[in-house]
Amino acid sequence: MQITNPVIKGFYPDPSICKAGDTYYLACSSMQYFPGVPLFESKDLINWRPIGHALTRRSQIMLDKVNSSGGVFAPTLRYNDGRFYMTTTNDTTRQNFFVWTDDIYGEWSEPIYIDQGGIDPDLYFEDGKVYFMSNGSDDNGRGVILQCQIDIVTGQKLTPSRPLWQGTGGRFLESPHMYLMNGWYYLMAAEGGTEFGHMVTYARSKSLHGPFEPYPHNPVLTNRNLGGYEIQAVGHGDLIQDQGGNWWIFHLGFRQIGKWIPYHHLGREVFLAPVTFREDGWFTAGHNGTTVTSFETNRIPEHVVQQEQKVYTFENTTWAIDWCYLRHPHDQNYKLHNDRLTLTGTEVTLDQADSPTFIGIRQKDFNASVACNVALTQSGEAGITLYMDENHHYDFAIRHADDQYEVILRLNIGDIKHVQQTVPIGTNSQVQLLVEASHERYTFSFQLDDGQSLELGTAQTKYLSSEVAGGFTGVIIGLYAVHEDAEAQFSSFVCEYQ
């Protein structure tokens, strides 16, 4: 059968995967968004269903006024002795912790903190012992993977942190994962930074504590030399063995907007590549060490069909699973119904690293049509925002000004906050907002109840890209309200991908 990448589209970075019974489970990082750490399940490794989040309570994660791309960094998801564990970093507070649950569809525990620094923590279970790894520095200040043994009940360190491996010399050594296979301990990591130089490297040892010998042909997986290729930044992987004994690597990557246009705004997504073990015990990954857009394989049964949801509405999504907030929401400002949404604004705006009245869904592909009816019942502003961070977002809204209503298009690009177009609509307090998205451009138009429609303008997608904005997130299609007297009702929301 043919597999098409990415297998999970949109801003779902840093995938980590485990298996319980005949089901695979996957977790991703979430940065400043809440709930934290999205979770997915699959029976076949290519069709993934969102099932919830690991961090659903304020007490589990501090997100108050964290900057964009702060907050929850890369998780590791593991299953051991009937229990799921998820360990991650709050990069803003510089704390590593883990939570656990016996029911992955239910609530997770309160956080248990580990006194070891670095990011991208990993948990490894063996013979009743638990080992914790993260990246860090050795006594000479060089990047290294650190390991200690912990008490899985209390999080207490039972051994000092010891250096395991310094990587291959690439910058930003991170994303450690440990595996035991056929008498070898494999330590896999990422190097090169989570941009165009990203890569997966690994080493092996006969001892859990090393020394580790690097794979002679590192990096084992990277697209760093594929100029003009859609998939870039391949790295940060996790291995899994399927029911048939085949090995795979799930990893992040991003799709640039054009062959020779090196910008990406959808965020880092989840990609899949095959892994093959050689007779000498080393493994290779991908297709000649790269990740491709689509590939044929006989590892997945022919009756399995890779499916993709193309239409997202209020009715066919779940608020607590598919949608997200900026940091911790003020619940009293949200009325979530099956077919509509009512938002009450505050003085907090989208330009602040705070919690404006905002709820969003990830943009999952380049070509899309977004439509939503917005009725503003009091003063203020409400509408759709294409949101990368507090300094980079396009706002398309209805607002009340001078005893009448108007539709506005505002472009926020760094320090430039420009109202691109304003169209008065008199006493009309309801409007249908329409956004057409392509690889390189968004187009904004609106329609009134009387059928009158007007295009307000366009904006380039690249100004919402990580290459312009910085950071590690992707565009969120957000619905928002601003001003303490603003109340708005949203209905007939449709996001359709071509």
Under 8 Å between Cβ of 478 and 343: no
* φ, ψ dihedrals at 415, nearest 5°: -85, -5
Same domain (yes/no): 471, 352 = yes
| 425: its two tokens | 């609509």
Same domain (yes/no): 266, 208 = yes
Number of domains in the chain: 2
Same domain (yes/no): 170, 262 = yes
> Final residue of a domain: which of 228, 262, 296?
296
Same domain (yes/no): 354, 245 = no
CA distance linking residue 46 with residue 31, whole number of Å: 25
Task: Tell me the pLDDT of the chain averaged across its residues.
Answer: 97
- Does the CA dihedral 30-34-36-37 come out positive or negative? negative
Under 8 Å between Cβ of 450 and 313: no
Same domain (yes/no): 290, 315 = no
Question: Cis link prior to 211 (omega < 30° from 0)?
Answer: yes
Same domain (yes/no): 347, 473 = yes
So what's the pLDDT on residue 446? Answer: 98
Is 305 contained in some domain?
Answer: no
Is 333 contained in some domain?
Answer: yes
Under 8 Å between Cβ of 467 and 460: no
Is 87 contained in some domain?
Answer: yes
So what's the pLDDT on residue 449? Answer: 84
174 catalytic per annotation: yes
What residue ranges of the chain have pLDDT lower than 70?
none
Q: How many residues does the chain have?
A: 498
> Final residue of a domain: which of 268, 296, 324?
296
Same domain (yes/no): 290, 316 = no
So what's the pLDDT on residue 450? Answer: 78
Please write the tens of the pLDDT for every residue from 130-140. 999 999 988 78
Is 302 contained in some domain?
Answer: no
So what's the pLDDT on residue 140? Answer: 80
3-class SS letters over 112-137: EEECCCCCCCEEEEECCEEEEEEEEE
Here the CATH number for the domain that contains residue 233 is 2.115.10.20
Which of 425, 457, 442 has the alpha carbon at shortest distance from 387?
A: 442
Is 133 contained in some domain?
Answer: yes
Which of 234, 225, 158 has the alpha carbon at shortest distance from 195?
A: 234
14 catalytic per annotation: yes
Same domain (yes/no): 102, 75 = yes
Under 8 Å between Cβ of 384 and 372: yes
Is 200 contained in some domain?
Answer: yes
Same domain (yes/no): 284, 322 = no
275: containing domain: 2-296
Same domain (yes/no): 317, 290 = no
Which of 91, 122, 174, 390 does the annotation list as catalytic? 174
Under 8 Å between Cβ of 320 and 332: no
Same domain (yes/no): 335, 247 = no
CA distance linking residue 474 with residue 466, whole number of Å: 8
The structure's pTM equals 0.97
So what's the pLDDT on residue 387? Answer: 98
Would you give the end-to-end CA distance of the chain in angstroms? 23
Is 6 contained in some domain?
Answer: yes
So what's the pLDDT on residue 187? Answer: 98
So what's the pLDDT on residue 456? Answer: 96
Here the CATH number for the domain that contains residue 323 is 2.60.120.200
Same domain (yes/no): 284, 315 = no
Is 306 contained in some domain?
Answer: no
| 338: its two tokens | 């099956």
So what's the pLDDT on residue 179? Answer: 98
- Does the CA dihedral 222-224-225-231 come out positive or negative? positive
Please write the tens of the pLDDT for every residue from 292-343. 999 999 999 999 999 999 999 999 999 999 999 999 999 999 999 999 999 9
> Final residue of a domain: which of 296, 319, 349?
296
Which of 14, 195, 365, 389 does the annotation list as catalytic? 14
CA distance linking residue 323 with residue 333, whole number of Å: 15
Cα-trace Rg, the chain: 23
Please write the tens of the pLDDT for every residue from 450-485. 778 899 999 999 999 999 999 999 999 999 999 988
